[in-house]
Structure 1
């Protein structure tokens, strides 16, 4: 388990960054938080400055950066122009794959993007339709507001338009897990489940399947061969305190990007 650096309380989130003098406040995507906590811990060791990280989801992190309740917001999906102010800066700090993950006991090793999309739409309902056992597929998805869910739906074309509004096409009977950890627990304990998680969160408790015959690896993502991938973005006001800007500079430095790579993500420089 990675050490969580000074989780913010609800009261802390309601305070402005200026009140938390000397502390860099970061909130948002649970996927980005996985590496951000490690970056924060290392930065604290070398700078003696405190960084507080909270997992609140990408949409909440974007709002927090925009309204100033956090100095830095985290998003694991592309940010819409309507979610930004003219003073908001976006910085891509890493790239990550989204793994389609199954239980270690599942014999299915490869699925196409089309098959995965059909599974999540409810058009493929049994593992026997894709080379597995004759068992119903248990579909597992992330909660609304999750950056991982937003990116997955966009990449896998799991959105439809109703009355001019985009809505999810994922079957309503899908089990919902809040965060990568819960998705991993559900899939690791159900041999007939499929879920999607940040590639950097994959461990021995479950298995990332190949997609279109391509393994979910850093090299394949960097080469553009593995298609289910997204950026890790931080957002900050152009007039943010120098302490927040210093932390971003550390993340983008050779040391910071080395940590990004060591945690299983793709460095951007």
Structure 2
């Protein structure tokens, strides 16, 4: 009798242990299944593309930012180099997501429903043909050249020869920034008026006696030209950031105040204006401002 009771208790304990093991396995499987479901229901991937339009001076900056953003998200960023004025108009009429301007927005543009966000700062370099012996000019001398008050390099302690004055087209952010800083708005007397940064650099490179201006990020490493110091200060990231280099302007994202960006465009905007983009902006020759 005692032996029968002992056997019965043993069987009962064994059944209980097996039930407990089965219960643990079920719980574990349920947890695994729940975990898999959570992973599959993660935030959806971005899709589509982001369109930008405007400043030719911002080509390098937009190029590196767009390339990294696409690598991170799979979303492409298109860039249409039409000039600041055209880019502002494009975002205003809705033909692009983000307008690119290498000048601050004007009061009337803000009143028309646009918002500006400064992405970086850029120095406007003054350049001359590599054969020119002049290496430094003051703001006043630059203004005299561009308004036609001085027309020969010999008047500036250079080798005698006519000055060929090269500038950008009306509506260019680079031109707007250059003229506002030098005080030459609506006063410039130009030998050539060109529609892109690259065209200005090439004209100065191939024209003896030429002087022009272009984004600092575009002139670094270029052969056939000399980048002048202005008032003894060379344009660089450090001198632009500390304000000692006088001829500088902002790189701006222009967006519509009354219409939200698409999910992809907002993600690109957030990335480009964050500290995560600082090293890329610096590598493109501009000065990052995000902190």
Range into which the TM-score falls when normalised by the shorter chain: 0.7 to 0.9
Q: Which runs of 5+ in 1 are unaligned?
A: 1-20, 160-167
Q: Which residue is equivalent to 1:64?
A: 90
Question: What is the CA distance between 1:41 and its match in structure 2?
Answer: 1.3
- Report the structure, 1 or 2, having the larger helix content: 2
1:104 corresponds, among 110, 114, 130, to 130
Decide whether the 8 Å contact of 1:66 with 1:84 is kept in 2. no
Decide whether the 8 Å contact of 1:66 with 1:85 is kept in 2. no
Q: After superposition, give the CA deviation of every residue in 1:145-196 in whole Å (9 maximum; x if it has no partner).
A: 111001111111012xxxxxxxx1001x421122110011011112310000
Q: Which residue is equivalent to 1:152?
A: 178
Q: Which residue is equivalent to 2:252?
A: 233
Scaled by the length of structure 2, what TM-score is found? 0.80
- Runs (4 or more) in structure 1 with deviation over 4 Å come to none
Aligned-partner Cα distance in 2 for 1:217–1:50: 31
Aligned-partner Cα distance in 2 for 1:147–1:223: 22
Q: Which residue is equivalent to 1:133?
A: 159
Q: Which has the larger radius of gyration?
A: 2
Decide whether the 8 Å contact of 2:104 with 2:116 is kept in 1. no
- SS of residue paired to 1:77: coil
The answer on 1:258 being equivalent to 2:279 is yes
Aligned Cα RMSD in Å? 1.3
Question: What is the CA distance between 1:84 and its match in structure 2?
Answer: 2.7
Q: Which runs of 5+ in 2 are unaligned?
A: 1-46
Shifted more, 222-231 versus 86-95: the winner is 86-95
Decide whether the 8 Å contact of 1:63 with 1:83 is kept in 2. no
Q: After superposition, give the CA deviation of every residue in 1:202-223 in whole Å (9 maximum; x if it has no partner).
A: 1332221000111111111111
Q: Which residue is equivalent to 1:162?
A: none
Q: After superposition, give the CA deviation of every residue in 1:59-79 in whole Å (9 maximum; x if it has no partner).
A: 111111112111100000111
Q: Which residue is equivalent to 1:35?
A: 61
Scaled by the length of structure 1, what TM-score is found? 0.86
Q: Which residue is equivalent to 1:81?
A: 107
- SS of residue paired to 2:288: coil
Q: Which residue is equivalent to 1:45?
A: 71
Aligned-partner Cα distance in 2 for 1:258–1:23: 23
Q: Aligned pair in 2 of structure 1 residues 122, 87: CA closer, same or farther (>3 Å)?
A: closer
